[in-house]
Amino acid sequence: MVFAGTALAYIPFLRCEAFWPDEGILLQGAQRILHGQVLYRDFFSFYTPGSYYGLALLFRLFGDSVFTGRVVLLLEGAAMAVLTYLLARRVAARWAALLAAYAMALLTLPFEFITLHNWDSTLLAYLALYAAVLWLERPHWISAGAVGFFAALTCLDEQSKGAGLVLGLAAAAVWLVRRPPWRAQLRPRQGWAIAAGFALPALATAAYFASQGALGAMIADVLWPLRHYLAANSLPYGYMFFHAPIPSTGSWLAKVEAWLWFSPHLAILLLPWIGVGVAAALWLGLRPHRPSGPARGYYLLVGTVMAGLLLSVVLTRQDYGHVAYLTPIFVLTLAWITGRRNPGPAARAAAPVIAVYVLLFFTVAGVHYWARALGGFPATVATAHGRLRMAVPDPVLAYLRRLPPGPIFVYPYLPDYYYLSGRANPTRFAWLQWGQNSPRQFAAARAELAATPPVAVLFDLGAIQWEAKNFPGMPVNSFSGARRLEAYLLRRFHHCATMPAPPQLWAVLLPRGVPCLPAVGWPWLNDRHGP
């Protein structure tokens, strides 16, 4: 029932297109693989390869479309709701486990219902955690092997999340091996099963890229974020840039309503710290009402894994979105504090209040996403990979359809246009982000554009404001490589139209000597001077 209810609830999101930049990275990368290219050798990405090749396989089997990826996401969301219920049910009442699954379904995937490696890796991490709990309850080499297998797949899907998961599992094993109830379970055979489960997908992946002459490039690209990612992505914990600001003026009632709508998102930021606190209390033996027997091992294992996953966020990018990607696991703590067995007097008194708060205010916050999905995308637009619903007909896609065949270049950051227009990218880079991509990479993109000139360039005129809002830690000296590339574009291409596609404002540049095409139906778009 949890699986079916969640899957049905996500149907309105399947064809909504809001041009989230990260979705285009994965869609375009999977399509390049379908066309015979090899990740890392033929195009750059600092993501590990799991989601790229998994999505390419799904495209091959079920059709190359946005809809294919979204249906898979729907099934992933339903599966994570079931895992939430099953793991919460180990230590909490049925109603509390259902409440946790309900909260997970409301405020996680609807936040960004897009094909994304973050959702894939969260599901894989959840499966690894579930296998670990099964092994804790009844040790067997199959469940032990499954822990290693899904942990390896998580690392191959998103390296920082995989590292946090492995760290949490290893730390929990260190604690468990010192305790008599579980010491006997950690036999060499179990350890070999975990190691074999982990090694199999890792070695198979290394062998594939070695056979394609891309193993060195893979290692370099996967380690690339250690030097470059944090330069532009340093954010405070829970940084939220997607909401309208809480009103500072107006009636007190309006302010209270805004804060009540906003508060569930603040609660989501608190949930992982509850799990970390539970694990820390058990590690240190500080909790006055410590659970005994199997429940104690469960809390220690799950809480320690939460700590490892939270650490992977804190050390990389700790905005609200990256916490939300892991909330399907973190939301287990909601069941712990509302419906755990044998609570103390204070917990027993607080549980119904917290449950009512979650039921009411999480629902109010979640309805916002469904209202937008049902009424915020009235325009149906045909793209190169399926019909999608948009807020307004996109003028950029309409303009691209009228251009002659050939590649386009989108600068600096919206690879969705490559995929939705069905046009190739002449460079190795799905995006070029100021402060993150190195001057050498900007120079490489410039050389590739000279070797394979695009038929058009889409230049985001609002990118500076967008980057400043989303990446406030971007260093001010990060524009040198970008400026040389921009100068090259302005020498070789001329401006033909300016098109609003909120929140972006796109300038369409065509090669010098090629006449401009009018933007039919949008008379104000033919201003060749632009803002």
Q: What is the pLDDT of residues 504-530, one digit of tens each?
A: 789 999 999 999 987 654 444 444 444
Phi and psi at 502, nearest 5°, equal -50, 140
> Is residue 117 over pLDDT 80?
yes
Which amino acid makes up residue 47? Y
Top mean-pLDDT range of 291-295, 433-437, 446-450: 446-450
> Is residue 88 over pLDDT 60?
yes
Which residues partner with 92 through β-bridges?
Answer: 340
Predicted confidence at residue 524, as pLDDT, reads 42
Q: Which two tokens stand for residue 262?
A: 């906003």
> Is residue 300 over pLDDT 80?
yes
Q: Contact 443/402 with Cβ under 8 angstroms? A: no
Q: DSSP assignment, residue 127? A: H
Predicted confidence at residue 282, as pLDDT, reads 85
Contacts of 159 (CB under 8 A, 6+ apart): 48, 222, 225
Which residues partner with 319 through β-bridges?
Answer: 239
Q: Contact 306/357 with Cβ under 8 angstroms? A: no
Predicted confidence at residue 502, as pLDDT, reads 65
Q: Which of 278-287, 423-432, 468-477 has the lowest mean pLDDT?
A: 468-477
Predicted confidence at residue 144, as pLDDT, reads 93
Predicted confidence at residue 526, as pLDDT, reads 45
Predicted confidence at residue 527, as pLDDT, reads 44
Predicted confidence at residue 342, as pLDDT, reads 76
Nearest alpha-carbon partner for 304 in 327, 282, 328: 282
Q: How many residues does the chain have?
A: 531
> Is residue 79 over pLDDT 80?
yes
Q: Kindly indicate the confidence band of residue 232, based on its pLDDT and cuts at 50, 70 and 90.
A: low
Residue 156 exposed, middle or buried by CB count within 10 Å (0-12, 13-18, 19+):
buried
Mean pLDDT of 486-512: 89
Q: DSSP assignment, residue 290? A: -
Q: Which two tokens stand for residue 101?
A: 């699954």
Q: Which of 225-239, 325-339, 358-372 has the lowest mean pLDDT?
A: 225-239
Mean pLDDT of 316-323: 89
Q: Which two tokens stand for residue 118?
A: 């973050």
Mean pLDDT of 218-234: 81
Predicted confidence at residue 190, as pLDDT, reads 82
- Is the Cα dihedral 428, 433, 438, 440 positive or negative? positive
Q: Is the peptide bond prior to 412 cis by the omega test (within 30 degrees of 0)?
A: yes
* CA dist., res. 323 & res. 429, Å (int): 27
Nearest alpha-carbon partner for 476 in 489, 484, 464: 464
* CA dist., res. 364 & res. 358, Å (int): 10
Phi and psi at 221, nearest 5°, equal -70, -40
Alpha carbon of residue 509 to chain centroid: 31
Q: Kindly indicate the confidence band of residue 292, based on its pLDDT and cuts at 50, 70 and 90.
A: low
Q: Kindly indicate the confidence band of residue 149, based on its pLDDT and cuts at 50, 70 and 90.
A: very high
* CA dist., res. 335 & res. 119, Å (int): 22
What value does the mean pLDDT of the chain take? 88
Predicted confidence at residue 479, as pLDDT, reads 67
Predicted confidence at residue 483, as pLDDT, reads 86
- Is the Cα dihedral 96, 100, 105, 110 positive or negative? positive
Contacts of 448 (CB under 8 A, 6+ apart): 426, 427, 428
Q: Kindly indicate the confidence band of residue 436, based on its pLDDT and cuts at 50, 70 and 90.
A: confident
Q: Which two tokens stand for residue 288?
A: 């006055």
Q: Which residue has 């960004």 as its token pair?
A: 112
Phi and psi at 177, nearest 5°, equal -70, -15
Q: Contact 341/82 with Cβ under 8 angstroms? A: no
Q: Contact 161/121 with Cβ under 8 angstroms? A: yes
* CA dist., res. 266 & res. 419, Å (int): 35
